[in-house]
Amino acid sequence: MPPPRRSRASAELPKRRGASRGAIYRMDMAASLLLAIALMLIIEGMFPFVFPNSWRDTFRRIAQRPPHQIRIGGLIAMVLGVILLLIAT
C-alpha cells in the first residue's frame, strides 16, 4: 500500500524555525534566555519611562532600607519567579 500523498499546500510550507505552531517549544536555551532578558528589559524600562518621578522616589526609599530587607525582597522576587516558571511549564 503506497503512503498517503501530502497535499500540495503542505508540501510548499517553508521548513524554517518558527514556521509551526509549536516552535516556541523547540527554542534552544540561548534563545530562551535572550527572550527572557528582552522581556525583563522592556518591563523594567516601562516604569521609569512612564512614571519617572514615582520611580525615582520608590528607588530612593528602597535604597534607604537595611541590606537584610533588600535581600528578603530579592529572595521573595526569585521565589515568585521560580513558581511562575513552574506554573508556565
pLDDT in tens, 51-86: 999 999 999 999 999 999 999 999 999 999 999 988
Mean pLDDT of the chain: 82
Query: CA geometry: angle at 53 spanning 50 and 58, to 5°?
Result: 100
The kind and range of the H/E element at 75 are helix 67-88
Instruction: Tell me the whole-structure pTM to 2 decimals.
Output: 0.56
